[in-house]
């Protein structure tokens, strides 16, 4: 990412998006491999076409896996962003502040910032879980 995007915010964003995207793709592939064939066959028996089967049968089977992948991707992207800020020499951000407090031997502030990142990760995961539960419930009623 440094070679393509140079050093800056773009490379850190691309790194986090790439890592998160891989997690979402892996979870989607896992979900697609475990779609129940019996539901597809029942839809075919009732005369459903391939587009209907894709959007109404397969998509509903994939939804929980995709949403779980998105929750994992949020957490991984947060970690990659913090590490990217530390490693790539950012001028602002929590990773930079953590690195500055470490180099200045301000350990209480460093641990407070690490705790803040942990709380942010927990809250983002909680929001992701609530959203995924609501979307999964909505998908059941379609």
Summarize pLDDT for 45-87 with one digit per residue, the tens.
999 999 999 988 888 888 888 988 999 999 899 999 898 888 8
Single pTM value for the model = 0.79
Instruction: Please identify which residue in the block is written with the tokens 């915010």.
Output: 9
What's the whole-number mean pLDDT along residues 83-94?
Answer: 81
> In 34-106, which ranges are continuous DSSP H helix?
37-45, 50-52, 59-87, 94-103
Query: What percent of the chain lies above the pLDDT cut of 90?
Result: 39
Per-residue confidence (pLDDT) for residue 113, from 0 to 100: 93
Sequence-distant (6+) residues with CB within 8 A of 117 are 78, 82, 94, 98
């Amino acid at each position: 990412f440094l070679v393509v995007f140079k050093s800056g915010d773009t490379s850190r964003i691309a790194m986090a998006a790439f890592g998160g995207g891989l997690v979402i793709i892996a979870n989607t592939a896992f979900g697609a491999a475990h779609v129940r064939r019996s539901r597809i066959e029942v839809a075919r028996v009732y005369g459903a076409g391939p587009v209907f089967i894709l959007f109404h049968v397969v998509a509903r089977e994939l939804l929980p896996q995709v949403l779980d992948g998105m929750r994992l991707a949020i957490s991984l992207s947060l970690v990659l962003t913090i590490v990217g800020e530390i490693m790539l020499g950012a001028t602002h951000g929590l990773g930079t502040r953590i690195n500055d407090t470490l180099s200045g031997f301000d350990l209480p502030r460093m641990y407070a910032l690490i705790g803040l990142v942990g709380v942010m990760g927990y809250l983002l995961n909680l929001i992701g879980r609530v959203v995924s539960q609501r979307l999964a419930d909505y998908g059941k009623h379609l």
